[in-house]
Structure 1
Amino acid sequence: MNDKKILRVIPAEKVNMGGIILDQPLPASGIDQIDPFLLIHHWDSELPGGQHQRDVGVGPHPHRGFSPVTFVFKGDLQHRDSLGNDATVTSGGTQWMHAGRGITHSERPSAAMAESGGPLEFIQFWVNSPAAHKMDNAFYLPLSNEETPRIEDEGYHLAIVAGIYEGVKGPAPTLSPMTLLRGGIKADFSCEVSLPSSFNTMIYLLDGELQINNIEARAKDLVQLGQDGEAISILAKKDTRFIVLSG
């Protein structure tokens, strides 16, 4: 099995989204998208508490023709949309939505969290829809941590959100072949990840430090891998949380 070549390491940039400061590794300077992934935003903040829900998070806004996906790592997010869906996902869960021909939604911390405060961390990324599915009916699926299967070994774990990995099928319904993983690895441990050579693959580090196929990556770096192999060797220099987006 051949190693996937590291094409580039992209440090996230700070962006201001309506007064909210986020880390954005994609798009980046000179890189509009890495097909089928259009955008990655990493929100990591401490809510002060004593707030109304309407004053935090992201209010109603429309989407069309792609899938906004949110991985929640700390705190919670309540999703409401124009289809009548209303669900709150907590740490380890996923908000999965296909915008299709059009949908309006909001994502905010729950009223209880807005009042109590505390850490809120999530990643939202956008997956482009194939042309044949851009005008499908919109749909939404909340997934809890308990509904997301995991592979665990000494020093690391991988949660399979979408696709099939090592015979384990993720619950999220994708419109094109892809594998989406959430991972964690302890310092000085290593693991091997294998993904199809035909997939565009990225690894984003929420924190920590990794050596990926002998290339160093640090917190809030996005590592883009090529289509010339299948194998990814990961060695943790520090305790690290990461996601794998491949499709």
Structure 2
Amino acid sequence: MLKVFLGKDFYYFQSRGISTQVHNQIAHQISVVGPGDTLTWDGHDGVGCYFPSSVPHELGSEGTLHTFLLNPVHARSRLLSRCHEASCGFDPGNETREMLANLAFQPSDTRLLSDCLVELTSLLMTENVVEEPLDERIAEALAYIDELETKRVAAGELAEQLSLSESRFLHLFKEEMQMTVRKYLMWRRTMDGAIMVVRGASITEAAHATGFTDSAHFARVFKQIFGLTLSSALDRQPPPILVVGEY
């Protein structure tokens, strides 16, 4: 059974028996397995692994897999971009693995999962990395995008909102977010569409509502990002469980 938890600036997935094809995840990804289970990725074995944004990888586990995807606006997401350029394995510790295995999966678990994510990212940080605030102009652009029903907007429109030239805005966005505006918007639309499917919408309905050309376009982008087909990931029996966190 797939379980999905929506935090303010992260997504948490709990699944069992998963095997992906090579894919490029737009968000930073941290995956760990439950006690007694093993994770394989890119020819390696272990209990925890980290995949930087846009680094091709594949992974699988016959056991229970716990995966965090950091929203690109998460402060730790920007820090991780400066720490690692390649995938790596790490030991998350037995306490964290057991805590995730025993998660009640309720909205009240928001703080627990947020703290867990901070702890996991801390294990991946280098000592000299310093957290820096997001540029106010980019924060304003992200807030503008948040208000859009469909996350589809021209870079020129965003630049105009900030009284910047389009070229200056594009450069600043990539510098601050470590990804292009286009890639960020694609990520938002894909996640919005996936959540709609989890909530019961058809793939076609979700595709049209989130700004994709058609269901085939949505399915193709989803597979590129997650290494799984939409049907194999979300069209399961029993249906996926979705929990929205408290924030």
Fold match (TM-score > 0.5): no
Bigger helix share: 2
TM class by smaller structure = 0.3 to 0.5
Larger RCO (alpha carbons 8 Å, 6+ apart)? 2
TM-score (norm: length of structure 2): 0.36
